[in-house]
Chains A and B, each alone.
Chain A
């Protein structure tokens, strides 16, 4: 056991305000805001969405952000609930990401609304048969819970009993958050691609997967650029968590593919053909299964490769891309071929040389959607960086790390 005296020299990197990264992120946030103002002026006509593919980048990014918020709380709670000492150094960082990403998910919905000014109607006139209302409720609870847990961790670290209780609440809360977000899609019989009982399990698995990958990536950046030393045992646990989640996630998705392929029900099969190799959305398949699937799996399964933290970070980055591809694959192809698909199709709400109807849905995001989405990611990164500084997480991570045996 190493002497646990605080090494104050460790997490002292240049101040945030002087870092060029802060400025870059700030500019991206600003550009996102400009794009949003433009969208407010022009309506959602400024996006690539129309009446056939009526949800786009905002919604699949929303689902992605919700997933990212899970990992943190799961890593943090697991260290307490399952007594995994090696994960304890990352507990506060985990809860911080949970708070920031759940807030970001909530924010992502705002530019998707046709009437953003009425967003409070969700709280004033909730219709409880709507899964969206449950989701708004659980995201709000989840965010407040993460803030509370973080507050106790930082300000009242001596209250061990309270922290244990919070950890025991946090774990089922994270599972509930993902199940309910999944149910927004999974309950819709109008979209055969979504309408599977596997939706909630897939969301929980992919949330644990992407959330853990996010923690790995942040931890690696801190170790690489902020002189923080993360114990080897912590890396081992994170690698194990990722490889298990990756396997379970892809297993669920594959089960869904097999059911659709074997049953061959036309409207289901039509969607699968869009994403399988050769289909117009095959890029999501390659990202999900190869770049974000097989390759990180090999890295994480090989005891030689996973021994290096930089390899883990690479696997985590690939996984994060793969899960984003999965969110795209989930949302867009579901809209492309509506149940009733007869000529001339659905009116687009726009007149162009190709007519005002669309029989097969098309979607590509506009610059407005890209800028707003990137801006929100930048804001999220800034919030994590500021939270990390203000709450002196570097110091506490280092302190806790000293207690972890390698």
Chain B
């Protein structure tokens, strides 16, 4: 059994939001909904900040000429010890054996306890009927079930919580999550963390990829290479 994980290289990320827009496209996220976002941050800072140093996207931190800029692409961290899974009163949020945290669309009661419990703020509640322009289904476009449980629908259902599924329907078909495929600079690497020879394992074990808010003990399967990490230029 694999344990799927992702490493995001912040030293490569250019903050173009292609992963976020790709995520919207493949999952048909309506206007105003983003399961995946690219946050503006400082290099080597903790993700947990007292107050944002700048209120705006793409604005560097610091005083001229000492300006610094880095990006933090953020979606579900697929924690091995996930607070959302623990607090879900009806077991709608569940962890698959391969590490994916998924939501059973037919069981969720929409209490949003998971939204309150997630330290990463990546859970998205569908407040009202999906608004799209133009108004037709895009992306994967089918229902998807795993172990009999409905974990994706073509149109975003009202009144339940959703989030990044790590593109479960693509992963099960031996493809990569869509954000990995569309990243123009190859900042995202997807693979099996249980396989010590996989690229993600090497990045985690030898290159110092780190978990976000690791001190909280949620043990995510998504890792980050800090922006100070020297980008390897091949050839």
- A contacts, CB < 8 Å to B: 42-46, 49-52, 54-55, 109, 112-116, 118-119, 121-122, 124-127, 129-133, 136, 184, 188-191, 266-267, 269-270, 335, 337-344, 346-351, 356-357, 359
Contacts and interface: CB of A to CB of B under 8 A. Distances in A.
Given A50-B127, A115-B108, A341 B87 contact: no
Interface of B: 30-34, 37, 39-41, 47-52, 54-57, 59, 72, 74, 83, 85-92, 107-113, 115-121, 123-129, 131, 158-161, 212-213, 216
A109 B111 CA distance: 8
Contact of A339 (B30, B91, B126, B213): B213
Shortest 9 CB-CB contacts between residues of A and residues of B: A114-B110, A114-B159, A45-B128, A266-B50, A342-B39, A347-B34, A190-B119, A132-B89, A127-B91
A269 B125 CA distance: 28
Given A44-B125, A190-B118, A346-B121, A126 B89 contact: yes
Nearest to B119: A190
A55 B91 CA distance: 20
Given A340-B120, A347-B37, A350-B32, 12 more contacts: A45-B127, A54-B115, A114-B125, A114-B126, A126-B89, A132-B87, A266-B49, A266-B51, A339-B48, A339-B213, A342-B41, A343-B40
B88 A130 contact: yes
23 contacts: A44-B128, A45-B128, A54-B125, A112-B112, A114-B111, A115-B108, A121-B90, A121-B92, A122-B109, A125-B107, A130-B87, A130-B89, A133-B89, A188-B117, A189-B119, A189-B216, A190-B216, A343-B40, A346-B121, A347-B34, A349-B127, A349-B128, A357-B37
A115 B52 contact: no
B90 A44 contact: no
The CB with the most chain A CB atoms within 10 A, among B37, B89, B115, B119, is that of B89
B116 to A, nearest CB: 6
A122 B41 contact: no
Given A113-B111, A130-B113, A356-B32, A347 B49 contact: no
B112 A342 contact: no
Contact of A42 (B33, B110, B112, B128): B128
B32 A113 contact: no
Contacts of A118: 90, 107-110
A116 B109 CA distance: 7
A106 to B, nearest CB: 13
A343 B127 contact: no
Contacts of A343: 39-40, 52, 54-57, 59
Nearest to A334: B116
A351 B130 CA distance: 12
Given A54-B115, A356-B34, A43 B159 contact: yes
B71 to A, nearest CB: 9
A131 B114 CA distance: 12
Contacts of B118: 190
A395 B98 CA distance: 66
Interface secondary structure of B, over-half rule: loop
Contacts of B159: 43-44, 113-115
Nearest to B106: A118
Contacts of B109: 113-116, 118-119, 121-122
Given A113-B110, A114-B159, A341-B49, A122 B90 contact: yes
A136 B89 contact: yes
Contact of A335 (B52, B85, B116): B116
B52 A359 contact: yes
Contacts of A269: 50
B55 A114 contact: no
A359 to B, nearest CB: 6
B110 to A, nearest CB: 2
B158 to A, nearest CB: 5
A133 B91 CA distance: 10
A51 B72 CA distance: 19
The CB with the most chain B CB atoms within 10 A, among A55, A270, A346, is that of A346
A43 B48 contact: no
Contacts of A112: 111-112
A49 B118 CA distance: 17
A127 B88 CA distance: 7
B116 A54 contact: yes
A55 to B, nearest CB: 6
Nearest to A191: B116
Nearest to B54: A343
A368 B144 CA distance: 35
B116 A55 contact: yes
A162 to B, nearest CB: 34
Contacts of A356: 31-34
The CB with the most chain A CB atoms within 10 A, among B30, B52, B72, B88, is that of B52
Contacts of A115: 108-110, 159-160
Contacts of B213: 339-340
A118 B107 CA distance: 7
A238 to B, nearest CB: 36
Given A114-B112, A339-B213, A122 B89 contact: yes
A349 B51 CA distance: 23
B90 A348 contact: no
A50 B212 CA distance: 24
A189 B85 CA distance: 14
Contacts of B30: 349
A340 B45 CA distance: 11
B160 A339 contact: no
Contact of B83 (A126, A189, A349): A189
The CB with the most chain B CB atoms within 10 A, among A54, A269, A341, A342, is that of A342
Given A43-B129, A113-B109, A190-B117, A340 B48 contact: yes
